Each structure stands twice: as C-alpha cells, then as structure tokens.
Chain A
Amino acid sequence: MDDVGRAQAREHIELVERILEQSSRRLRVGGEFFVIWGFYSAAAILVMQLVVDRLLPQVAFWALLPLLLAAVVFSSLRGRAIARCKGRMTAVEREFFTVLWIAIGMAFLANVAGFRIFPQWGMAGLWTVATAIVLFFIGAHGNRRATFGGILQVVALLLANLVPDQAGYILAAGMLAGYGGFGLVELLASD
C-alpha cells in the first residue's frame, strides 16, 4: 500500500513498541510456591543432618512424607487456580516454567536414579544448584530479590563444602533463606 503516510507509519511503530515494552514486563512468579518448597526442602535436609548426627532416629524420614504430599497437593491446586484466573501467559513465563521443570526435573532424576554416585550431601547440593538456577533465571528478568536468593544458596553451598560436618544445617539454612525467603518477600511485595 503506497498510500501509507509517514505519520501513520510512525504512529503504528510507536504503538507496537509500546505494546512490546509492556509485554516484556518483569517475570512474576507465585511466592507461595517458593515458600512451600523452600520449607519442605530445608526440612528434608535438616532431618537428614539430624539423623546423621544421631539426634533423630531413621524413622524420622517418614515424617517428611506428609509434608511432601502437602506441598505437592498445594502446588497442584494453587497452580490450577492461578492458571484459571490468568488472562494471559507471556512468552517469558512459559520460558520460566520450562527452566523450572528442566532444573528441578534433572535434580529429581539425579536424586532418584543416581543416588549411588552422589556422596552423602551430594543430593542436597544438587537441589541447591537446581533451585539457585531457577532463582537466577528470575533474577535475569529484573528481579533483584531472586538474584539475592540465588546468591544466598551459592554461599550456603560453598560454606557447606568448607564445613562438611555441618553441611546439612548450612544447606538447609540456605534453602530456607534463599528459596523460601525469596518466596516470602515476593508475597509481601505483592500485597
């Protein structure tokens, strides 16, 4: 169409730029999922450390099962409720879920299928790396709180390596503060 004027072309380009700028807005994630899974993961690592220190009997691991089930049921129900209310799923949100499933899925697979090749705290370390990747991905989309949470987890990993006897306590604290703490701050910020 040769009859498109310069003013109209500029107006349309500006419209497109404005819409694209709005749609590339910061990645928003549900803080409640991070609180729940941060708490569960920290509890699991802590129980492992307490069992290793003989402060709890091995049967204490069974106490984690209802916590795990509660986290799975909550995540499933809440996820469905959020999906129903959402008017749109942005491309970056879809990318986030892909990264989440790959990172957490690979860590889970390594924990289940590769439990013989990881030494005592290897699995907890893997979870820490996977959750830190998720946080850094969110951080890369402009969320400094997520970056800070990821850094806390990396610091916990390095410290645990220096103090292997206390590795469980340190990794649990890193998980609670870095992952769960990020979720809590997100929840507070969204109110």
Chain B
Amino acid sequence: MDELLLSKMRLGIVAELLGAHWVAFSELQRSLGASNGNLGAHVAKLIDAGYVAEEKSFVARRPQTRYRLTDRGRDAFATHVAQLQALLEGES
C-alpha cells in the first residue's frame, strides 16, 4: 500500500481533489476541518511526492493558493483504494 496515503488527512486531501478541477487551501481547510499548519504540512508531503500540484495567485490583491491532483496522484489513489478494498474483501 501507499505509505503516504495511509494518513487519513492525506487520503482525505486526495479524495477532495479527485472530484474537483482545483480546490483552494481555505476550501480544503473548511472541508476537512484541519488547522492551517496541519493541512499545510500534509499538503507539502503530497506536493513533494508529485501527487498534488500547487498554484499561487493573487485574487483581489490577496494571495490565494489552490491545488489540483496530478495524474501520478490519481493513479496512486486508485491503486491504494483498490488495495484497501482487496484487504477488506480478502478478510471477509
């Protein structure tokens, strides 16, 4: 299994990005109920692994950071979830 996605928070971030074209940091924070620092640390790990891409811009003179899932992240997520399901089916 993908060790990076064994974290519930990181798995949640990737799942949030899966159904979206892009999601802003503030929206991710709201959806996952995470603190600023905690979410930032988890997202940084996903970016380092190439699972998530970051875009920084200014909206009405205020900085906005938004994220999207990369193809690599999408593949990793699909494989990881399939393995989780296989584990459940194997033990049922």
- In angstroms, Cα B71 to Cα A46, docked, is 49
Residues of A contacting B: mostly: helix
B20 engages A88 (CB within 8 Å): yes
Residues of B contacting A: mostly: helix
Contacts of B18 in A (CB 8 A): 19-20, 23
B19 engages A24 (CB within 8 Å): yes
Q: How far is the CB of A153 from chain B (nearest CB, A)?
A: 28
Residue from B3, B12, B20, B81 whose CB has the most chain A CB atoms within 10 Å: B20
B20 engages A10 (CB within 8 Å): no
A1-B1, A6-B87 known; A16 and B81 CB under 8 Å?
yes
> Could you tell me which A residues sit within 8 Å of B by CB distance?
1, 4, 6, 9-13, 15-16, 19-20, 22-24, 84, 86-94
Q: Could you list 22 examples of A-B contacts with CB < 8 Å? A: A1-B3, A1-B6, A4-B87, A9-B87, A9-B88, A10-B88, A12-B6, A12-B8, A13-B84, A19-B12, A19-B31, A20-B15, A23-B18, A24-B19, A87-B23, A87-B26, A88-B20, A88-B22, A88-B24, A90-B20, A91-B19, A91-B21
